[in-house]
A and B are shown apart, each in its own frame.
Chain A
Amino acid sequence: MSEPSEHAHPIVGPGVYLVILFALLVGTALTVWASFVDLGFWNPIIALAIATTKAALVLLYFMHLKYSSKLTMLAIAGCAFLFLTLISLTLAEYISRAWGNW
């Protein structure tokens, strides 16, 4: 084929994808198991940590973020930051209501 290639990044092969698939399935099993164990206040933290790790694996490898331009990474980082801002400032307002008037 004489058409120019569209890829600025290396082609990721099935080997990598299989490893990530395995990791995601393990993560799923882990998070389900953890929810059945009483770890006090660590439960939600562990659940979110595992979910974030899985999401990061999908982002980096399935979505090729690891092989993408810095611009794309910056855009995603910016979006993540704003997402966290929305959640944390709103939650902070709700939680600080319980603190009373000074």
Chain B
Amino acid sequence: MPKSKVYITSVGFTKIDDHWEKSLLDLAVEAARGAMKGTPKVRPQQIFVGNMFSAVGAGQEHLGALLASALGLVGVPALKVESASSSGGSAFNVAYSLVKSGALDSALVVGVEKMRDLETEEVSQAVAMAESAEYTQFVGASFAALNGLLARYYMEQLDVSRDELSSIPVIDHANAVNAEHAQFRRAITPDAVSRSSMVADPLRLFDCAPIGDGAAAVLLVSDRAASGAKKKMAEVLGGRIATNEFSVYQREDMLDFNATREAFKGAMAQAGLSTRRLGFAEVHDAFSVVGALSLEAMGFSKRGRGSKDAKEGKYNMGSEFPINTFGGLKARGNPIGATGVYQIAEAFLQLTGQAGKNQVEDADYGITHNVGGVDTTSVVHVFGRAT
């Protein structure tokens, strides 16, 4: 089969919120219809659902067929793809690979997570499934605890201060003010981060992405299908999934996000781009420390400089290389299996000039970076303006 160029022609998403009135399927259908209505001439040949814990959050599995049927697409092959909080990015990567290979001419990718039907403790338990049941959950280590261990190590080994660590959450909140789909649309100060309640010392509440419900969807087409679509499009230029040693505390160097580095290098090599061509990045900052270490792993900041560079303004909106242009995980929100698809939808808005007040001027290329576990699975995609 011939290799194809791959485009995103339309996207859809819900606001990330406490959607008490809406079910998992309500959210997924709303996002999927949004993406499909944007490209009415294209019927998706396959559906990929990114989701981590619908079995726990909604007592529901078999999401592929469930969604296909709800969308009136009975007969269309439909699968769930799971890799913890990188499920959305992974689902997109599978779809992208199949369209690029020529096996599919179109695909619908939907990320969805319903978190708010659970108590906060139950959410912690569900998210902790990303780590070892026998040796991590067993000792009572939540996902926040693992990141707390990592944050202390980062601060002690590389001399990073509390205020420096706060700088990425501050950027996220500043960028979310004008993002209509963001969960928290208000600016915060570094002081607000360091005064927020302790979760897993040294990590405080405002170091941690919130709990919220949401769904996002993107429609992918091959160049053959795109010729009929005639729309503002973004091109998918490369994408790569990489894994790291499963548990962060077993890694020779806990501060080396090797999966992020390999995924980024692989995706950029496919795109044939050098880092300086990139105009923005959507970075997976489920915790402030994860954002910082990811910026370092991708080479945007030197080792130990991720948070420091953020504090000095290197990643602000209006800088040469803004990150998390709609609020990132901290302020846009982090509905686990949907997050990676939100990032991709946001990259699409940037590259098609539809980002409104959050528009990054003159950005020809951007990346999305989605992580499952603590850099256990990392997924990077590279996007460009369609020419």
Q: Do A and B come from one complex?
A: no
Chain B residues in the interface with A (C-beta under 8 A): none
